[in-house]
Amino acid sequence: MGAITPRSRLRGEFGQLVADLVLWLALVLLFLAFRVTLFSIFYGELSKPPTGQAIARCLNSGLTSDATATTWALLPSLALTLLGFIYPLGIWQRRVRQLTIVLALFACAIIFATDIGYFAEYDNQFDHWIFGLIYDDRAAIFGTIWKSYHVVLIIISIVASVIIGSWLLNKLCRRAESAEPPNFFGTTTARLITVVLILVWAFVGARVWLGRNLAGLKKAESTGDVFLNKIVLNPFFALRYAIWQEHTMQKSAGLRTILPSGDIRRAAAAIFPDASNAANLDECLKRIAPGSSTQKPTHIFIIVMESYDAWAMQPEYAGLHLTDRLKHLGQTGIQAQGFISSGVSTIESLGVIITGLPFARAFVNFQPVVRRGLPTASAPIFKKLGYKPRFFYGGYLSWQRIEEFCHEQGFEDVYGGDQMAPHARQKEWGVDDEHLFQFVAEHTGPEPTFNLIMTTSYHPPYSVNLEMNGFDPNVVKSDPLGGKLSDEQIRILGHLWYSDKCVGDFVPEMEAKLERPIFAITGDHYSRKQYVSARPTHTLYESLAVPLVIHGPKALEHASPPSALAGSHLDIVPTLVNLAAPPGFEYHAFGRDLFDQSQPQTGYGCNAVIGSNFILKINDPSHVEDLHGQPAANINGKEFALRYRQLHGLGWWRAMKGREWPAR
């Protein structure tokens, strides 16, 4: 074996550095290719064709994000390369780089596949919904994934991609290692300068782009297009920010992510001007029921339908016949013109209806302050009015600690899917809706009750036997819009039809059985499964709105609502309380009575604001549409966004800190 000459050692040092730089460039290009793939797959999410400037900003900010992630991945190999300038490490530099390649490609393959599936389901890269893996029913989630995706094929593809990619990258790096160093590199000064430059480059790549106060996240929101903003971040950083945001929301800093000023007293004065001298926040929430001229309902039902959004109830989709029964209930009862969910997931919206607090990224079912009880909680309010509060969930009571949560908030009876049908555990998310409603009917007698019902059937993996329940896919296919759908898409939408059928059968059955019931029927959140559109792109209303139908001919006999209703889940309980309470009854609420004609018809929820003639998202308040997707004139979107932040800042404070004002 020949001796190691100074020239061969120099070649080795330089070659290792070049190999690291080649690997860095290859990983950056891999991340760029993934962003282009995201853009290609979800191009239909664009509200309008992007400008060249928007695409340039997306690629520029995205490239910076990718370079940062790649630098972090390369740090171990790069550190050994620089150490090799001082002390020869021999084969270890190559081995560490090979290990880096395998680990990096495995991580990328897993995160890429997961991110695409996540984007398809949640219309975003990783965000706070990813914490469903912690808070939610993990067995049900993984069971749904197993049934909904070709998991084995995906795993085989990941392994094959990593093996082939590792072989190619290692071969490329081996070639780079043989690079001849320039003559000037042999001087001590040149090598020292090289080390300093690499250290500065690594520091800049790993830290500066991130910046303080998450500057990188601000860059990710600068393209001017909502969809392009979503794909700017490298998926690893999207996951990092989701974790950071979840952690931050549990601390005092979380308030400023909602209400930048952090001024709770000023927010309360703006939302509740008549309570400016209140001793605490709860005093601002006091309401006095005006009393109803109609005899109060004997039973109150709030029915929250899984993923039941409002688009299918619009006239242009009538030919699909997916929501005929709820539309009929709306025509014979009262239907909101503009209504949005308070959250973008089931537990977020249920938490609002149960506690009466605006959802402000603080999961109320896990908060110690909330566990002690709230004056805005719906169950105790209706109990004071003489109703027995009950909760019915078609799923399992282990989900989101829902059983303990409901008992903490005053529900006397809490029922889950295990109690409703034999072999309920054979389905990931619970019993079919027909069994849920049948159980409620069998357990409802003459005693006045307040009932909160949560359905489950319109949820992946969509396992209802539709044929046995009478669903005819040819009805959907006969409509021009439905004729464009695949069999799988029709099958999924068939579960919306099934849920509609079940609630449509339940309401008249209970009206025949009970003396004076009233029903408020809504969706927990938009479904994310709108496969059809009567327009080139989905409107904000089609993307975000859920229905609200209030039905009960006897209970609503003398009701006089405004001609056009608009609101959110926060407003359901105050509306029903005022229909059931005697004059002078005192209760607490953040929401308002939808039937109160003196109040503006505006709903605040799911990161959006809706009125009877407009809708906007708070992250883009300058873009305001009417409920048909056209630009809405004379609407101050920034003012509504500020009010949203003030209201939800108060909700965060009450859930996390309690009723007392912050110390001055």
- Alpha-carbon distance of 92 to 231, in angstroms, equals 37
pLDDT at 528 over 90: no
Predicted confidence band of residue 251 (pLDDT cuts 50, 70, 90):
low
Domain topology for 264-656 = Alkaline Phosphatase, subunit A (3.40.720)
Q: Which residues contact 499 (CB under 8 A, 6 or more apart)?
A: 305, 306, 308, 433, 455, 457, 458
pLDDT at 216 over 50: no
- Alpha-carbon distance of 522 to 583, in angstroms, equals 27
Domain residue spans in the chain? 6-247, 264-656
**Least confident stretch, 139-153, 457-471, 474-488, 536-550:** 139-153
With contact defined as beta carbons under 8 Å apart, do 621 and 637 qualify? yes
* Range 156-179 average pLDDT: 86
Report residue 377: phi and psi, to 5°: -60, 135
Q: Which residues contact 106 (CB under 8 A, 6 or more apart)?
A: 158, 162
Mean pLDDT for all residues in the chain: 85
Predicted confidence band of residue 230 (pLDDT cuts 50, 70, 90):
confident
- Alpha-carbon distance of 519 to 554, in angstroms, equals 11
* DSSP helix, strand, coil percent of the chain (3-state; round to 5): 55, 10, 35
Predicted confidence band of residue 209 (pLDDT cuts 50, 70, 90):
very low
Predicted confidence band of residue 213 (pLDDT cuts 50, 70, 90):
very low
Question: What is residue 401's predicted lDDT score, i.e. its pLDDT?
Answer: 82
Pick the residue with more confidence: 308 or 143?
308
Burial class of residue 10 (count of CB atoms within 10 Å of its CB; 0-12, 13-18, 19+): middle
* Range 84-89 average pLDDT: 68
Residues 325-368 pLDDT 10s: 999 999 999 999 999 999 988 999 999 999 999 998 888 888 88
pTM for this entry: 0.74
pLDDT at 425 over 80: no
Predicted confidence band of residue 212 (pLDDT cuts 50, 70, 90):
very low
Of these ranges, 178-182, 203-207, 513-517, 529-533, the one predicted with the greatest mean pLDDT is 513-517
* Range 412-422 average pLDDT: 88
Report residue 203: phi and psi, to 5°: -65, -45
- Alpha-carbon distance of 41 to 605, in angstroms, equals 29
Crossing angle of the two packed helices 433-442 and 487-513, in degrees rounded to 10: 10
Question: What is residue 210's predicted lDDT score, i.e. its pLDDT?
Answer: 43
* Range 295-313 average pLDDT: 95
Burial class of residue 260 (count of CB atoms within 10 Å of its CB; 0-12, 13-18, 19+): exposed
Question: What is residue 19's predicted lDDT score, i.e. its pLDDT?
Answer: 85
Distances (CA, A) of 575 to 300, 508, 647: 12, 22, 18
Percentage of the chain lying above the pLDDT 90 cut: 50
- Nearest 10 degrees: CA dihedral of 232, 237, 238, 241? -120
Strands 586-588 and 286-288: antiparallel
**Least confident stretch, 235-244, 304-313, 407-416:** 235-244
Question: What is residue 215's predicted lDDT score, i.e. its pLDDT?
Answer: 42
pLDDT at 549 over 90: yes
> Which single residue is written with the structure tokens 């079912």?
365
Predicted confidence band of residue 126 (pLDDT cuts 50, 70, 90):
confident
Question: What is residue 272's predicted lDDT score, i.e. its pLDDT?
Answer: 94
Predicted confidence band of residue 217 (pLDDT cuts 50, 70, 90):
very low
- Alpha-carbon distance of 230 to 223, in angstroms, equals 10
* Range 377-393 average pLDDT: 98
pLDDT at 224 over 60: no
Of these ranges, 128-132, 134-138, 200-204, 348-352, the one predicted with the greatest mean pLDDT is 348-352
Question: What is residue 154's predicted lDDT score, i.e. its pLDDT?
Answer: 82
- Alpha-carbon distance of 646 to 129, in angstroms, equals 23
**Least confident stretch, 110-114, 126-130, 136-140, 488-492:** 136-140
* Range 474-486 average pLDDT: 94
Q: Which of 574, 435, 558, 575 is nearest to 506 (CA)?
A: 435
**What's the full length of the chain, in residues?**
664
Strands 608-611 and 615-617: antiparallel
* Range 549-571 average pLDDT: 94
Question: What is residue 214's predicted lDDT score, i.e. its pLDDT?
Answer: 42
| 3-state SS track over 324-388 | HHHHHHHHHCEECCEEECCCCCHHHHHHHHHHCCCCCCCCHHHCHHHHCCCCCCHHHHHHHCCCE
Question: What is residue 87's predicted lDDT score, i.e. its pLDDT?
Answer: 67
* Range 602-622 average pLDDT: 95
Q: Which of 346, 427, 430 is nearest to 415 (CA)?
A: 430
pLDDT at 58 over 90: no
End-to-end CA distance of the chain: 78
- Alpha-carbon distance of 275 to 273, in angstroms, equals 5
Q: Which of 411, 351, 391, 435 is nearest to 651 (CA)?
A: 351
